[in-house]
Amino acid sequence: MADVPSVRDVEHALEARVAELSQQIETITSTLADRGVDLFNDTRDRTGHAVADARRTTSRSVEHMKHEAATVAEAAKEAPIATTTTLATVALFGMAVGYLLGTSSGTHSSRW
């Protein structure tokens, strides 16, 4: 007759298998946590670098705009008549473009 394992032997085998599986789950959990932390740190570092680059670029742009505004203001002080003429020409051009766009739109209102 074949050896039939006892209930106690089956219980011990199952308990050993459950303990082994628990250990494997702990190992997997720990590995995933480490990878998650690494991914978070990498993302944080990349974001920090992007923000720092954007800050530097913005700072340079602001400085450049200040310099250009000062140059324009100085030119306007040196030649006020030319500045007035240029501004008036740009304003008239803008009004002409607005008028042309308004009359070519095809929707005419008879309010006036």
Q: What is the pLDDT of residues 24-53, one digit of tens each?
A: 999 998 888 888 888 888 898 999 999 999
Q: Is the pTM of this model over 0.85?
A: no
One-letter amino acid identity for 52?
A: A
Q: Would you say residue 51 lies in a domain?
A: yes
CA distance linking residue 106 with residue 109, whole number of Å: 10
Residue 13 forms part of a structural domain: yes
* Residue 32 belongs to a domain: yes
**pLDDT single digits (tens) 94-103:** 999 999 988 8
* Element spanning 88, H or E: helix 80-103
The range of the structural domain enclosing residue 51 comes to 8-79
55 in a domain, yes or no? yes
Tell me whether residue 14 is in a domain: yes
Please determine, for residue 93, whether its predicted confidence score (pLDDT) is greater than 90: yes
CA 55 centroid distance within chain: 13
Residue 62 lies in a domain: yes
Task: Tell me whether residue 3 is in a domain.
Answer: no
Number of domains in the chain: 1
Q: How confident is the model at residue 85 (pLDDT cuts 50, 70, 90)?
A: very high
